[in-house]
């Protein structure tokens, strides 16, 4: 059983790869733009340095694969606003390259990392049936890719599993609000800039829980399945900032807010997914949001001193 993980050197991809190596042969396909070799150094895995924008490379890497986990993407919502064409090339064209390679190589299953951002500003907790209404180019790219995954499944019979993740955090995190606060406070422990008014309220899930949900969802029978993956709790950005500051043992930090309901163009300020569907498979989160944040900070403290 050969499994390919695109983006397998990244934050989520490396945890997923680690879990998959316990079950069979795994090949990571990654251009190392944000992924890191060191995330894979303790894992027995084949590594192909390549780019999903290059169809030939993807086709070659996925030859004889049974399953492809497609996790490579540029997940930066802000950059998708300032560089929409480049975001399209990676997050839409790249995904289509992966799907087309799967079709031509007769790959039996694709597991696609989508996102809560496809819902935009939705009612909460947001179920899988909620309308697709992204408010960022990154969200539009994920939605477009999901539609291609669906048509490839229907037209060519490829089994497809789509996961719409909430914010995922934990060891090896290299982006997002906790990482951002940590880096800013390392640079200047006296002041913390918070994007928006700090009242953005979202759900966060530990990467171990996300990987377990992914593996369970991938086992589900049927040609096409789609699941939200998140936690049942939310936390405000303001509360996260206080938790980061107190965990780092800092005092008298001056908080500076850039203001406005959102942190950046395309930001969805309030997000909580309904996870009833994935829970019906027997999965539930093991970590609370607080435990997940503290675990993330523990890792950052030992790796970015």
Task: Kindly give the interhelix angle for 289-303 and 177-187, rounded to the nearest 10 degrees.
Answer: 40
Nearer to ligand NAD, 72 or 101 (CB): 72
C-alpha torsion sign, points 175, 178, 181, 183: negative
Catalytic amino acids?
138
Find all residues with CB under 8 Å of 163, minimum gap 6, and list them.
111, 112, 113, 114, 213, 214, 217, 226, 227, 229
Q: How far is the CB of 248 from ligand NAD (least distance, A)?
A: 22
Nearer to ligand NAD, 80 or 153 (CB): 80
Residue ranges in the chain assigned as alpha helix (H): 11-21, 55-61, 77-82, 84-88, 94-104, 137-156, 177-187, 207-219, 237-247, 276-279, 289-303
Q: How far is the CB of 34 from ligand NAD (least distance, A)?
A: 4
SS3 content of the chain, % helix, strand, coil (to 5): 40, 20, 40
Q: How far is CA 29 from the centre of its chain?
A: 16
Q: How far is the CB of 263 from ligand NAD (least distance, A)?
A: 14
Nearer to ligand NAD, 74 or 267 (CB): 74
Q: How far is the CB of 70 from ligand NAD (least distance, A)?
A: 7
Query: Two tokens at 55?
Result: 């169809």
C-alpha torsion sign, points 59, 62, 64, 65: negative
Which residues of the chain form contacts with ligand NAD (CB under 6 A)?
A: 7, 9-13, 30-35, 51-53, 71-75, 90, 94, 113, 115, 165, 167-168, 174
Q: How far is the CB of 129 from ligand NAD (least distance, A)?
A: 19
Of 22, 20, 30, nearest to 67 (Cα)? 20
Nearer to ligand NAD, 253 or 267 (CB): 267
Distance in angstroms (rounded) separating the CA atoms of residues 32 and 35: 4
Q: How far is the CB of 76 from ligand NAD (least distance, A)?
A: 8
Nearer to ligand NAD, 174 or 247 (CB): 174
Nearer to ligand NAD, 35 or 266 (CB): 35
């Amino acid at each position: 059983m050969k499994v390919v993980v695109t983006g397998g050197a990244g934050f989520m991809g490396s945890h997923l790869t680690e879990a998959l190596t316990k079950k069979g042969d795994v090949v990571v396909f990654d251009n190392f733009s944000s992924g890191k070799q060191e995330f894979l150094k303790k894992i027995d895995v084949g590594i192909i340095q390549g780019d999903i924008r290059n169809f030939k490379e993807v086709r070659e890497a996925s030859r004889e694969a049974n399953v492809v986990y497609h996790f490579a993407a540029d997940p930066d919502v802000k950059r998708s606003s300032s560089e929409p064409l480049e975001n399209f090339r990676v997050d839409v064209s790249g995904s289509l390259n992966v799907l087309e390679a799967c079709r031509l190589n007769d790959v039996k299953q694709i597991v696609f990392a989508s996102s809560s951002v496809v819902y935009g500003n939705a009612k909460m907790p947001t179920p899988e049936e909620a309308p697709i209404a992204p408010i960022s180019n990154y969200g539009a790219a994920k939605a477009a890719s999901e539609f291609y995954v669906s048509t490839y499944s229907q037209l060519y019979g490829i089994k497809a599993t789509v996961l719409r993740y909430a914010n995922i955090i934990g060891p090896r995190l290299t982006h997002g609000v906790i990482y951002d606060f940590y880096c800013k406070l390392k640079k200047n422990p006296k002041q913390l800039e918070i994007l928006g008014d700090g009242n953005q309220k979202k759900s966060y899930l530990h990467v171990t829980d996300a990987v377990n949900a992914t593996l369970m969802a991938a086992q589900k029978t049927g040609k096409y399945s789609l699941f939200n993956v998140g936690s049942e709790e939310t936390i405000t950005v303001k509360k996260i900032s206080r938790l980061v500051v107190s965990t780092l043992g800092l005092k008298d930090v001056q908080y500076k807010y850039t203001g406005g309901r959102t942190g950046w163009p395309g930001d969805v300020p309030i997000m909580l997914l309904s996870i009833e569907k994935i829970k019906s498979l027997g999965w539930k989160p093991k970590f609370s949001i607080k435990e997940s944040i503290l675990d993330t900070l523990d890792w950052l403290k030992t790796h970015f001193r």
